[in-house]
Amino acid sequence: MSELEIHNVTGTGVYVAGDDIDTDRIIPAHFMKCVTFDGLGQYAFYGERYNEDGYTKNHPIDDPRFAGASMLISGRNFGCGSSREHAPQALYRHGFRGIIAQSFAEIFFGNCTTLGIPCATVTAETMSELAQLVEAEPATSISIDVDALKIRAGERAFDFEMAKSAQQALVSGRWDPLQELLSRADRVGAAAASLPYVGWN
């Protein structure tokens, strides 16, 4: 088994209510001047977490009950808006390792997959039940079983949907395109050596 294979992610959850939560809400544009993605985690949902004076607005991810939560639960069309890769990077660096929502914006979903973040699409009923469960018992362990397409929360189990291509990429460990390229460095080098124009000045 490859260390890159992702079959299951587990952690506690936090519910961020709302539909159409766009990438500008996930990571405001003025934090996108960075050269690398390092440190973006502290700015996740920044505009909704803090006012202009830097005082907290009591956002769910700052609630002590949900400290350390790595499963994000939300509504429809999560990650819509601009295609900025900074949004899933901010969530990943904040500590989220799985996202459960009623639906996802396509580009955001793809960007999450290439970071190894499973995005589970659930029904409104499942989302509501998970949100209520997390609110009532914040310490409940939630797992996303990518192989079985099941979410397990305490004694409960729920079905979810995921694009087959994303599921296969995660469980086979082939979700990171850069790692895929590096793992075939010998073939890349051989192909480059066969091209008459490579190395020209």
Q: Give the pLDDT score at 118.
A: 98
Q: Give the pLDDT score at 1.
A: 66
Q: Give the pLDDT score at 153.
A: 97
What does the domain layout of the chain look like in residue ranges? 8-173
Q: Which CATH number, 3.90.1200.10, 3.20.20.450, 3.20.19.10, 3.20.20.140, labels domain 8-173?
A: 3.20.19.10
Q: Give the pLDDT score at 30.
A: 73
172-183 burial, b for 16+ CB within 10 Å, e for fewer?
ebebbeeeeeee
- Pairing relationship of beta strands 142-145 and 8-11 according to DSSP bridges: antiparallel
Tell me the average pLDDT across 78-107.
96
Q: Give the pLDDT score at 175.
A: 86
- Per-residue pLDDT reduced to its tens digit, 3-49: 889 999 999 999 999 999 999 999 988 777 766 788 889 999 999 99
Question: In which residue are the tokens 């405001």 written?
Answer: 28
Distance in angstroms (rounded) separating the CA atoms of residues 66 and 143: 16
